[in-house]
Amino acid sequence: MVRKRKQLPLLENILITDVAAEGKAIAKVDGMAVFVPYAVPGDVVDIQLTRKKNSFAEGRVVRFEKYSENRTEPFCIHFGVCGGCKWQMLPYEEQLKQKQQQVADNLERIGKVDLPDINPILGASRTTFYRNKLEFTFSHKKWLTEAQIAGGETFDNMKALGFHIPGMFDKVLDIDKCWLQDDLSNQIRNAVREFCLENNYSFFDLRNQTGLMRTLIIRNSSLGEWMVIVVFYEDDPEKREKLMGFIAGKFPQITSLLYIINSKANDTITDQEVITWHGRDHIYEEMEGLKFKIGPKSFFQTNSEQAYNLYKVVRDFARLSGGETVYDLYTGTGTIANFVARNAKKVVGVEYVPEAIYDAHENSRLNGIDNTLFFAGDMKDVLTADFISEHGRPDVIITDPPRAGMHNDVIDVILLAEPERIVYVSCNPATQARDLSLLDGKYRVARIQPVDMFPHTHHVENVVLLEKK
């Protein structure tokens, strides 16, 4: 017997009071925190609860009784459905205030260490069309919005090329215009979809693992170079050649046109062969005269302009005079390592992904940099006391770990190495704060600089300078 789910209550005329983690808003009802997306402080709303615990609840806004004065009109037609850019209704200056507060709250509440004043967040000069990489998914069955279902609209074509619906791995929203990447990205995606529809190409069925068209990856750089990667699930040479020829002919701006046949269960391409159909197998990015080679599998910060501002903060905090040995942990493709190399005696980079280390070597070679060394492997296994004995004690450590922060073993080795300064770059101030507390025995926080890499989202990057006590 299936137990009938209890209908949760509708809360009426509720005032939104604050912004919470993960970009949601907060209301207080009878002392209980209620979290809802797509609302801003000052809104008065009716909330349909979707989850209820003893101390908190979650819900969705079903009606706005009154709009906050501190609200702006979302600019994207897909707002509220696709799951990206959730803060479009929040004025950009207010977004920056909330991100600044998020950094302060995490460092104070979780870190519990002595802190200097936090520098004002570095906002982005461009808040739309700022990304240099997007990935779109083909689906044989597109996601219908509530408005489309309520309107009784019928669709002859249910194929989609767009973004996954948050929390639903097999649901894809058909995207007409995205404001994240230069508009040529929209033109390429829409043209590819129309071509595939007109020529009756099958779109991927994720559940049954069938279909020709799987994903479309578009990358670009500030130098005006474009990379397009078409990922097919099935291998149909005739249809493949016809589509690739169409893309090359319609978009001469594409400097790197590639394809992949990925017939495995997941979308990752790191283990797949990439075939160059037209042009180079890479594009270039540039910062301060340094060139960075970006391949189809390369990691590069997805906001090039703000990445440059972030790296300048890192270099400023490191205070290099030219005689230091620098360790760059979680170096990725060596972007930061190569960026600071001209100011250091030696830079040693460590990264888990071997392909990224290949790119790091290549970027050093490309720029005539000969004072960098790069090593691939799990950070906690590579960074050992023996490694430090072999390559020299670091005067400065730069670390830019993933969202989970640093492994305790890595922190232990850093404490053993005792560099004069640590520059800690983080995309997650909560785990950064946890790590700062573990380093507090030997290091004090000297400077803090938040950077907004992703406008209209709740995400924030933060750079902390630690100095030896």
Residues carrying an active site annotation: 427
Q: Report the C-alpha gap between 294 and 23 in whole angstroms.
A: 31
Residue with tokens 């990447």: 181
Instruction: Tell me how far apart the alpha carbons of residues 430 and 294 are, in angstroms, rounded to a whole number.
Output: 30
Q: Distance between CA atoms of 347 and 396, rounded to whole angstroms?
A: 10
Token pair of 335, please?
Answer: 């972007």
- d(C-alpha 19, C-alpha 13), whole Å: 18
- Angle at CA 199, nearest 5°, toward 196 and 205? 50
Residue 455 to residues 26, 180, 366, 418, Cα–Cα distance (Å): 21, 10, 32, 36
DSSP H or E stretch at residue 381: helix 379-382
Our CA dihedral for 413, 334, 377, 294, rounded to 10 degrees, sits at 160
In the structure encoding, which two tokens stand for residue 126, read together?
A: 């461009």
DSSP string, 67-127: --SS------TTTTTS-S-TTTTS-HHHHHHHHHHHHHHHIIIII-S---PPPPPB--S-S
Q: How far out from the chain centre does Cα 95 lie?
A: 17
Report the interhelical angle of 183-198 vs 237-250 (nearest 10°). Answer: 140
What one-character-per-residue DSSP string does 27-76 give? EEETTEEEEESS--TT-EEEEEEEEE-SSEEEEEEEEEEE--SS------
Rounded Cα gap, residues 60 and 47, in angstroms: 5
Alpha-carbon span 229 to 259, nearest angstrom = 5
Amino acid at 279: G
Count Cβ atoms within 10 A of the Cβ of residue 343 and give its class: 0-12 exposed, 13-18 middle, 19 or more buried: middle
Tokens of 395: 């005067």
